[in-house]
Structure 1
Amino acid sequence: MELPSIDIEKAATILKLLGDKTRLTMIKMLDSHDYCVCEFVEIFKVSQPAISQHVRKLKDAGLVGETRRGQWIIYSLNKKSDVFPLVQNLMNHLPNQDFKLQELEAQGLRISCD
């Protein structure tokens, strides 16, 4: 099956966006779990506004979607995005990041956003 191609400009924009280590790590983490901003704040040890800015950029690019659960907004990878095949190919070369969530749980800092 041939994957649809995306134009160079769009690919360059996505790759530039994912050139940031935090955003690249977020995307890899979202490949296996959904997260809320508060969990990212604990994992990356940066401010909530900084995390929200990263998430907003990923969302604006169509890479991340959101669902509301009460007062919480839960973020997930948008696998229907036209650029997802490119991102997925990139993620195939990255190490699994599930240990970050396991460390959070072990420290008792996993926030239940239900």
Structure 2
Amino acid sequence: MENIAFFTSIIIIAFGVLQIILFFKVWGMTNDVRKIKNKTVNSFNEAHKQIILGNKDKAFEIYQRLYVEELIKISELKLDFEENYPKLVERYKYELSKLGEGYSIDFSEYNEIHKIRRITD
């Protein structure tokens, strides 16, 4: 009987230590999620700020990065791509029009899902 109580207490202590470790890991992950959220959500805002400051090249780089990220995301499912790609192109044409002439993305280069999957797979 004494052995069972000792074994049970060891297991309880081990689970307690694991819960403490898990708590700190989850806490650290919430900070990572906040950083990722701020990076993606505010990216259009950051591009707009760069345009206002006169840094059109920097804004164009931000738009290119966001376009590629969204392109890869919608290319994961064929139906999503066919439905959402035209909307994506219109959105980025509008955003790029804020930069003026000389800033454009070649949307026809990756207008079909197999062109993207050839690179990402």
Q: TM over 0.5, yes or no?
A: no
TM-score by length of structure 2 reads 0.26
Higher relative contact order (CA 8 A, sep 6+): 1
Higher share of residues assigned helix: 2
Structure number with larger C-alpha Rg: 2
Q: TM-score, normalised by structure 1?
A: 0.27
